[in-house]
Structure 1
Amino acid sequence: MVVASDLKKILIVEDHPLARRGIAALLQEQGDLTVCAEAENIAGAIKAIEATDPDMAIVDLVLQDCSGLDLVRRLRARKPDLPVLVLSMHDEAFYAERALRAGAMGYVAKTEDGDIILRAVREVLAGRMYVNPALAGRMLSDLIGGTGGSPVHKLTDREFEVFELLGQGLQTRQIADRLHISVGTVDAHREHIKKKLDIPSAQKLLVFAVQWSQTSRGG
C-alpha cells in the first residue's frame, strides 16, 4: 500500500472542465498518483504550484489566457525542476517539437488510449522524455536529413504562436493581449511570417492561417 507521502502529485492545467475531469479520473485510478490541483489558466497554475509543490504538471496546449507553449516556459521559469507533459488535440508533427523546445519533457495526443497517456506520465515522472515512437522517428529523420517539412516549420516559436492565433480568428489587439506583447510587435511578427511563407498580403496570410489551423486540428 502506498502511503500518502509517497504519492506523486500532479497538477492539471486544462481549460475544459470535462477534459480536466477525465484526466483526473484516469490518474486517480492509479495507486501511486494523485491530482494535487487543477487550473484553467496561467494565474491558477502559478498559484497551484506555490500552494501544492507538484511533482509534475500536465498542460493543455491551448488555454483561454495564453498559449500552452508560453505557459510551459513560465512554469519552468517558476520551478525549473518541474517536469511538464503537454497533452493536446493538436497535430503532433507541428507542435511536439515546439513543446519540447519550450521546456516540456513530453507530448502526447488526447486521442491516445489511457494506457499510452499513463505511459507518458510515468516516463516524464521518471525524468525521461516522451513522444509517440513514430513521431520520434520522424523528428530524428528530419534532424539528420536537415529537412523541415512544412514551410510553417521555418517560423520561430513566437511567430508560430502569432500565426496560430491568426488562424483562430483573433485580431491584432487580441493577439497582443493573449501573448502579452505590443500591437507593433504583432505587426512585425506578421511581416516576418509573410516573408518566410512567401505570402504577398495580409489577407492571403489570414486565409492560409485559417486553413492551416483547421487542417492541423483535424477539422
Structure 2
Amino acid sequence: MAPNFKKRIMVVDDHPMMLKGLVTTLNAEHGFEVVGQFNRAEEALQRSTELKPDLAVVDISLPGMSGLELIKHLVGLDQNLKILVVSRHEEILYAERVLRAGAKGYVMKQEAGDEMVKAVKKILNGGIYVSEEVSEKLLMGMAVGQKNLSQSPIDLLSDRELEVFEMTGQGNNTREIAERLHLSVKTVESYRARIKTKLNLENATELMMHAVKWVESESSEM
C-alpha cells in the first residue's frame, strides 16, 4: 500500500456552514486531508499535538479564546506549523497583527474557495499570502521604519479589544457585539471601558466617533 503523503489540515471556525464549506473545499483538493474541525479554539489547541497538522485554517472571532490568541499558542507548541487566517474582518485591519502573531497568510471569507486553496498551497510551500494592497502597506511600513508605525495608540489595544473597537466603528452596539463574539454584555462593556482608557477617550460618543474614523481611514488606504 502506497504511503499517504497528503498534507494534514486543521480547521477552526464557529460558524457551522462556513466550517462545513471550508472542510469540503479542502478535502476536495488533491493532496489535502482535513484531520480535525473545531468551533472553539480551546479544543483545537488541546487536540493539535495529537493531530499533528501541517497547516491550520483559523478564524479570528471565536467564542472564548480568540483566533489571534490561538495562533500564538499553536506557534508556541509547534514553530513549523503553518497558519492561514480566513476571516470576515477587513484584511487591512488585521493582516499585520496576525502575521506578527505567527500566521503566514490572510484570506477574507467572501473570497474563500479558490482563493483559499491558492493561499494554502503557497503557505505550505513556504510563502506568505496576503493581498497586494496589504503587501504594499507592509512594505511601506518597513521602508519608513516599524518604530514609527508602532507608535499608533491602536497598537496598545489587545486583540479582543481591537475586535470590539472595529465592530464599534462599524456601527454595532454593545449587545450586537456581545452576540457576534459570544460574550456577555458586561464583558463587552469592560472591553469598551479599557479601550477608552487606553485611547484617552472621555465617553461612549467619543469612542464611537474615534472608531468610525479609524475604520474608514484604514479601509480607504486599500
Return the TM-score normalized by structure 1: 0.78
RMSD across aligned C-alpha pairs, in angstroms? 3.4
Per the alignment, residue 181 of structure 2 pairs with none
Question: Cα distance, 1:64 vs. partner?
Answer: 1.2
Partner Cα distance (2:213, 2:12) in 1: 26
Partner Cα distance (1:104, 1:157) in 2: 20
Per the alignment, residue 193 of structure 1 pairs with 199
* Percent of aligned pairs with the same amino acid: 26
Report Cα offsets for 1:35-62 as digits up to 9, x if no partner. Answer: 0000111221112203311111000011
Residues 97 and 36 of structure 1, relative CA distance in 2, 3 Å threshold: same
Partner Cα distance (1:143, 1:214) in 2: 22
Q: Secondary structure at the match of 1:35?
A: strand
- Asked if 1 retains the 8 angstrom alpha-carbon contact of 2:95 and 2:106, the reply is yes
Question: Cα distance, 1:118 vs. partner?
Answer: 0.8
Per the alignment, residue 56 of structure 1 pairs with 55
- Asked if 2 retains the 8 angstrom alpha-carbon contact of 1:163 and 1:190, the reply is no
Aligned residue pair count? 204
The worse-fitting range, judged by mean Cα deviation, of 64-73 and 30-39 is: 64-73
Instruction: Report the residue type matching 1:174 in the other structure.
Output: T
Partner Cα distance (1:136, 1:31) in 2: 29
Per the alignment, residue 24 of structure 1 pairs with 23
Residues 214 and 101 of structure 1, relative CA distance in 2, 3 Å threshold: closer
- Asked if 2 retains the 8 angstrom alpha-carbon contact of 1:162 and 1:190, the reply is no
Partner Cα distance (1:190, 1:78) in 2: 34
Question: Cα distance, 1:208 vs. partner?
Answer: 3.5
Per the alignment, residue 107 of structure 2 pairs with 108
Residues 210 and 136 of structure 1, relative CA distance in 2, 3 Å threshold: closer
Report Cα offsets for 1:115-164 as digits up to 9, x if no partner. Answer: 2211110111112111112321222123324599x999542264453143
Per the alignment, residue 142 of structure 1 pairs with 141
